[in-house]
Amino acid sequence: MTNERLPLEGVRIIEMGSLLAGPFTGRLLGDFGAEVIKIEAPDKQDPMRDWGKQKDGHGLWWPIQSRNKKSITLNLRVKEGQELFKKIIKDSDAIIENFRPGTLEKWGLSYETLKEINPGIIMVRTSGFGQTGPYNKRAGFGSIGEAMGGLRYVTGFPDRPPSRIGISLGDTLAALFATIGCLTALHERHESGEGQVVDTAIYEAVFSVMESVIPDYLLTDYIRERMGNILPGVAPSNIYKTKDDTYVVIGANADGVFKRLCASMDQPELAENPKYATHHARSDNMKELDLLIEKWTKTLTADIVLKKLEESGVPSGLIYSAEDIVKDPQYKARDMIISAKHEELGDFPMPGIVPKLSRTPGKVKHVGAEYVGKHNEDIYKKLLEIDDQEFERLKESKTI
């Protein structure tokens, strides 16, 4: 039985900034029930509203990135806007921001200033290079973090320039680490009663997942290079062409799994061959082994290859496009494609919630606000108890 109450209900998050890394953190927290209040400038909306493919004048990325969030406008560049912000954070739990370091300080909204108002406030700061160090004032997008974090150096094929991955991975990795930091700080606050700063740098988030590249270099003088579809020292783990010109991904690098692959190929003797019997042997003879496997896959259609490998317990799969994902029963069974109502576009499809919690699962209550400042009255009139006359004055002065 699941609980109707979402696990982060009662937690209020104020989201500042735009585009990817900061707002993706807000999305993750909102998925599990946090009240996320997103701030946009009255004269400059989040560019994410226009990103992605367009449908009837609406960007298709925004409704996902800003789902479950309340949208308000507030001019943080003026004194009156800054004072309103201080009132909002008085009863809030965390602030998410991804401005260039120094921006909040310039506006008189430093952590030191805000913790005087709310000692328990947590400030989640995401930037290209972090709040300290010689690069801290540099502008830094996810693409730069991917490059300087080491990811792009190893992405692509050895005979071509470094490549990028087809999504904004640097930003989302930073958002994941920022989310972990926010939840950790919220938990610690139960003991101390105090907030703190969560400082996430995009390049560090990327670097953190770069496996053993540093000891490889410092201890063995080995620099991992671009290797296409393989991983250095891990075999077999590649894509293999089939009879019907489809590519199947096979990962059979563990000894036991490799034996099962050989049995599927009706070549059990390969598992006993000294050239392939061990992890290091397979690494040394990777190219030759991949050719042997593809020689087998080319005699069968992809469906038959996958059926044989599934029956033998060998990890394998197709390389999915969006069309393949939509048709796949596994995605459907686990509610990984859901929909929420959009005022203009109707049912709006989007990725489901990750991870799955058995008792208190997350929920998508609504898409990102279809227009800027949709929840202004809710926040300013109800939360801050601003009367109608003052509310209209703030609108006319373009403070909100």
Mind telling me the catalytic residues?
171
CA 208, CA 222: separation in Å to the nearest integer? 19
DSSP string, 285-321: THHHHHHHHHHHHTTS-HHHHHHHHHHHT--EEE---
Torsion sign across C-alpha atoms 260, 262, 264, 266: negative
Torsion sign across C-alpha atoms 38, 39, 43, 48: negative
DSSP string, 126-137: EESS-SSSTTTT
Quote the tokens at residue 385: 């108890």
The b-or-e profile of 131-165 (16+ CB within 10 A means b, else e) is beeebbeeebbbbbbbbbbbbbbbbbeeeeeeebe
- Report the relative pairing of strands 237-241 and 247-251 from DSSP bridges: antiparallel
Q: Is the Cβ–Cβ distance between 287 and 295 less than 8 Å? A: no
Quote the tokens at residue 277: 């019997």
The secondary structure element, H or E, covering residue 208 is: helix 202-208
CA 309, CA 100: separation in Å to the nearest integer? 50
Q: Is the Cβ–Cβ distance between 314 and 257 less than 8 Å? A: yes
Q: Is the Cβ–Cβ distance between 397 and 41 less than 8 Å? A: no
Torsion sign across C-alpha atoms 382, 384, 386, 392: negative
> Which residues on neighbouring strands pair with residue 347, listed in sequence order?
341
Type of residue numbered 171: D
CA 152, CA 162: separation in Å to the nearest integer? 6
DSSP class of residue 369 equals P
